């Protein structure tokens, strides 16, 4: 029982983490990024390469891949997204355009990964030491994944709610039209938010690769789950993403353990539908 709680929290922690990235990109930059999961998978493979061929531990890989995720997403925003933002007559148009473009980007990233690594399942063994947590044995890498997710998630919440930088990003999310009157450069804020999202995706990739097998085509699953978490939590809500992510991880783990592993996705969608019937704008959503 406790074992499933811990495993559920580990899985949920990573869901919460990556969903935070997606919700920041969507809430602040107004871009629904369908290639988000593929960014995660790219980071998984990058960690794998760094670890297996250069013996760089995933922890150190974070120091390389997180800034890379930030920088690359910044470039993607400047080159691909900025023209869309510039020509979009309104927010709805930008949403549709960004969905189409990132849908294309998804296949570009996936294609590159398939070319480089093939379609097979990939994994590596890192910090597989069994650790005793309150009487249950958990793999060290899972525990590390949970701790990292929580730490990075907490850091993000502190940045968003306790710093001027975060305040500016939140203001752009809450009142995009008024933000320039506050002297806020909304274009820069959107670029920063998109890049932070990319950095979080990279973090998620490193963390997930430590305890899960992954394939070049698994990005879609991560995008979908992150999307479910974002909508469940309330669009643009970081606390909502955390709660919904943990909930989703627990539901998946418990259904896999006590019902049938094949029913996890069905269970996730059931929870998703039921919660949305009660709270159409998500757990922390605003009407």
Partner 1 sequence: MLELKNMTVRYGKHLAVDAVGFGLTKGEVVVVLGANGAGKSSMLKAIAGMIPVADGSVTLDGDLLTGVPAHQVTNRGIALVPEGRGVVGRMTVEENLRLGATPSRARASEDETIAQVFDIFPRLAERRRQFVHTMSGGEQQMVAVGRAMMSKPDFLLLDEPSLGLAPIVVGDLFKALARVRETGVGLLIVEQNVKISLRHADRGYLLEAGRITGSGTSEELMNDAAVRHAFLGGDI
Size of the site for partner 1 (CB under 8 A): 18
Q: How far is the CB of 173 from partner 1 (least distance, A)?
A: 9
Closer by beta carbon to partner 1, 169 or else 216: 169
Q: What is the DSSP letter of 78?
A: I
Length of the chain: 287
Measuring CA to CA, which residue among 11, 9, 8, 13 is closest to residue 152? 13
CB atoms within 10 A of CB 146: 24
**Is 174 a binder of partner 1 (CB under 8 A)?**
yes
d(CA 181, CA 184): 7
Measuring CA to CA, which residue among 33, 10, 9 is closest to residue 21? 33
User: Which residue from 167, 220, 265, 276 is in contact with partner 1, where contact means CB under 8 A?
Assistant: 167
Q: 125 by DSSP, 3-state: which?
A: coil
Which residue stretch of 72-80, 116-124, 182-190, 244-252 sits at the interface with partner 1 (rule: CB under 8 A)?
A: 182-190
User: Which residue from 1, 79, 181, 273 is in contact with partner 1, where contact means CB under 8 A?
Assistant: 181
**Is 286 a binder of partner 1 (CB under 8 A)?**
yes
**Is 269 a binder of partner 1 (CB under 8 A)?**
no
**Is 266 a binder of partner 1 (CB under 8 A)?**
no
Measuring CA to CA, which residue among 122, 124, 224, 201 is closest to residue 232? 224
Which residue stretch of 18-26, 53-61, 102-110, 179-187 sits at the interface with partner 1 (rule: CB under 8 A)?
A: 179-187
User: Which residue from 184, 218, 227, 247 is in contact with partner 1, where contact means CB under 8 A?
Assistant: 184
d(CA 183, CA 174): 15
Which residue stretch of 12-20, 165-173, 206-214, 248-256 sits at the interface with partner 1 (rule: CB under 8 A)?
A: 165-173
**C-alpha of 31 from chain center:** 14
**Is 137 a binder of partner 1 (CB under 8 A)?**
no
Calculated CA dihedral for residues 42, 44, 45, 50, nearest 10 degrees: 120
Q: State the residues that interact with partner 1 by CB under 8 A.
A: 164, 167-168, 170-171, 174-175, 177-186, 286
């Amino acid at each position: 029982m406790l074992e499933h709680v811990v495993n559920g929290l580990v899985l949920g922690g990573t869901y919460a983490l990556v969903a935070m990235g997606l919700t920041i990109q969507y809430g602040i930059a107004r871009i629904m990024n369908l290639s988000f999961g593929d960014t995660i998978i790219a980071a998984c493979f990058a960690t794998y390469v760094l670890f297996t061929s250069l013996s760089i531990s995933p922890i150190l890989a974070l120091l390389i891949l997180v800034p890379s995720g930030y920088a690359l997403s910044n470039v993607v925003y400047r080159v691909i997204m900025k023209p869309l933002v510039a020509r979009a007559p309104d927010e709805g148009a930008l949403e549709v355009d960004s969905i189409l473009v990132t849908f294309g980007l998804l296949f570009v990233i996936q294609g590159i990964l398939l070319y480089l690594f093939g379609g097979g399942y990939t994994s590596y063994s890192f910090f597989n030491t069994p650790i005793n947590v309150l009487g249950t044995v958990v793999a060290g890498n899972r525990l590390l994944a949970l701790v990292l997710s929580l730490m990075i998630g907490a850091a993000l919440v502190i940045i968003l709610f306790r710093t001027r930088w975060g305040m500016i990003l939140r203001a752009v999310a809450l009142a995009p039209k008024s933000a320039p009157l506050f002297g806020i450069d909304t274009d820069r804020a959107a670029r920063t938010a998109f890049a932070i999202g990319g950095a979080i995706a990279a973090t998620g990739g490193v963390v997930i690769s430590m305890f899960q097998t992954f394939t070049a085509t698994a990005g879609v699953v991560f995008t979908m789950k992150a999307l479910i978490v974002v909508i469940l939590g309330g669009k643009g809500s970081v606390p909502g993403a955390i709660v919904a992510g943990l909930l989703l991880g627990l539901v998946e783990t418990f259904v896999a353990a006590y019902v049938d592993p094949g029913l996890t996705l069905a269970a996730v969608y059931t929870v998703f539908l039921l919660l949305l019937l009660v709270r159409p704008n998500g757990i922390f959503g605003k009407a």
